[in-house]
Structure 1
Amino acid sequence: MRRILVVGISGAGKSTMARALSARFAAPYHEMDALYFNGPGWAVNDDFADQVAEITASPAWIFDSFGYPAVRDLLWERADTVVWLDYRRRVIMPRILRRSLRRTILRESIFGGNRETVMDWFRRDHPAWWAWSQHAARRADIQRRADDPRFAPLRVLRFGTPRSAAEWLNERPAS
């Protein structure tokens, strides 16, 4: 496992898992949202797809996303392992609500110096709304990709609970 893609819906813990895998396997972790949003006002990085292509050409990497269509196929084609955090809504919703509430109240800087605001909570692309409304569709899309012969012999590790994912991670020897 040298090229790892961590997937799941918002709030599943993709970034947390990716950081843990990076520490465990001594492979560089790349936060997809931080690459995509590179400035205030949620400015989009015009070189995003090229940067991801360059990173994925290297022998070892870890990414924490599924959501960017411009690079989705590339990531699945170049990964050797997909870690799928396939958690139910009752698991992810409290997580995403706590995270967004903390970010809003504390005015935490995220991705290119941006911040979540109270007004953001009323937008359809807010992480909480997104996680709720896109849960089933995201799950089905990941399953289709996991079953797609184009991506064979990709190893897909699917975890239905945070506990099973943590147990698996703890059983991995460090590189």
Structure 2
Amino acid sequence: MRRVSVVGNSGSGKTTLGRAVAARLGVPFVELDAIYHQPGWTPIGVEEFRRTVAELAGGDGWVIDGNYGAVRDLVWARADTVVWFDLPRRTVVRQVLWRTVRRGVTRQELWNGNREHLTSLLRLDPQRSLLRWAWTRHKDYHDRYTRAAAERGDLDFIRIGSHRDAARLLA
């Protein structure tokens, strides 16, 4: 395991585990959200996103965290392992709720000056509410990565279905 793609629902723990795996392997950690979300939550252009990710994925070792379909082919073409967070929906939603509250109260900067706001918890549009996104996209991620694990014999898929599974991976 030298080039690891970490995927799964928002708020499932991808970044926390990804950082820990990268530290353990002694390789760079890349958070795709930090590249994609430019100041003011403006998305980076697709060509520039792909160019940046291709350069990063070209390295000998890395852990890349994110689900972006626009660059999945680039990441998985070089990956040897996919760590797939498939926690229960209730666990993910609880984690997103608490994380959003914590980030909103502390005004924690995420990437490029962007911050989460507590008002996002009240929004119904999944594009403007991480909580709503996590709820509505849960089955999509489960189905997508279940299929990929069955179809992609060139990649070692490690399914994380609980916090205990994540701890075992790090042990």
TM-score normalised over the length of structure 2: 0.91
Count of residues in correspondence between the two structures: 166
Distance (Å, rounded) in 2 between the aligned partners of 1:60 and 1:166: 22
The Cα shift of 1:167 comes to 1.6
Amino acid at match of 1:35: I
Match of residue 142 from structure 1:
145
Matches within 5 A, 1:66-81: 66=67, 68-81=68-81
Q: CA RMSD in A?
A: 1.3
Amino acid at match of 1:84: W
Distance (Å, rounded) in 2 between the aligned partners of 1:84 and 1:35: 21
Distance (Å, rounded) in 2 between the aligned partners of 1:157 and 1:119: 35
| Deviation per residue, 1:137-157 (Å, 9 max, x gap) | 111011111122xx4321011
Q: What is the SS of the residue equivalent to 2:38?
A: strand
Q: What is the SS of the residue equivalent to 1:157?
A: strand
Q: Percent identity?
A: 40
TM-score normalised over the length of structure 1: 0.89
The Cα shift of 1:72 comes to 1.4
Amino acid at match of 1:43: T
| Deviation per residue, 1:116-142 (Å, 9 max, x gap) | 123323142221101111101111011
The reply on whether 1:44 has 2:46 as its aligned counterpart is no
Q: What is the SS of the residue equivalent to 2:154?
A: coil
Q: What is the SS of the residue equivalent to 2:5?
A: strand
The reply on whether 1:130 has 2:133 as its aligned counterpart is yes
Q: For structure 2, which runs of at least 5 residues remain unmatched after alignment? A: none
Amino acid at match of 2:42: A
Distance (Å, rounded) in 2 between the aligned partners of 1:12 and 1:115: 19
Q: What is the SS of the residue equivalent to 1:166?
A: helix
Q: What is the SS of the residue equivalent to 1:4?
A: strand
Matches within 5 A, 1:1-175: 1-39=1-39, 41-46=40-45, 47-66=48-67, 68-121=68-121, 122=123, 123-125=125-127, 126-148=129-151, 151-170=152-171
Distance (Å, rounded) in 1 between the aligned partners of 2:155 and 2:138: 23
